[in-house]
Amino acid sequence: MKGPYRIPPHAAGPSRPAGAAEAEPDDRKFFDRPCYEFNRSLRPTANDRYCEHCRHYLTARCPHIDEFLDDVEDLTPE
């Protein structure tokens, strides 16, 4: 094979820093919270109880908006 070869991200497996096993996995961080209220403007099959499908997602009515904002700030370049 010629040229550079990169392993696709889905094949490389999850990468976690040491000691992260005790932490809540990122895919479950915003899942099934007691304040979850399905956004009915979405199709019913989208109701998987993840926050991005909640009526309060990224609004002032979301009681956990600070966590979302902290999560976004972690992704911004310095």
Domain that holds residue 70: 26-75
23-47 average pLDDT score? 87
* 55 domain-assigned: yes
Q: What is the per-residue pLDDT across 17-26, written as a single tens digit (0 to 9) for each?
A: 444 445 556 6
* 44 domain-assigned: yes
Token pair belonging to 19: 């000691």
Q: How many domains does the chain have?
A: 1
* 42 domain-assigned: yes
Reported confidence tier of residue 52, pLDDT bands at 50, 70, 90: very high
Higher pLDDT: 37 or 74? It is 37
* 60 domain-assigned: yes
21-47 average pLDDT score? 84
Question: Which residues make Cβ contacts (< 8 Å) with residue 51, sequence separation at least 6?
Answer: 30, 31, 33, 36, 57, 62, 64, 68
* 19 domain-assigned: no
4-14 average pLDDT score? 51
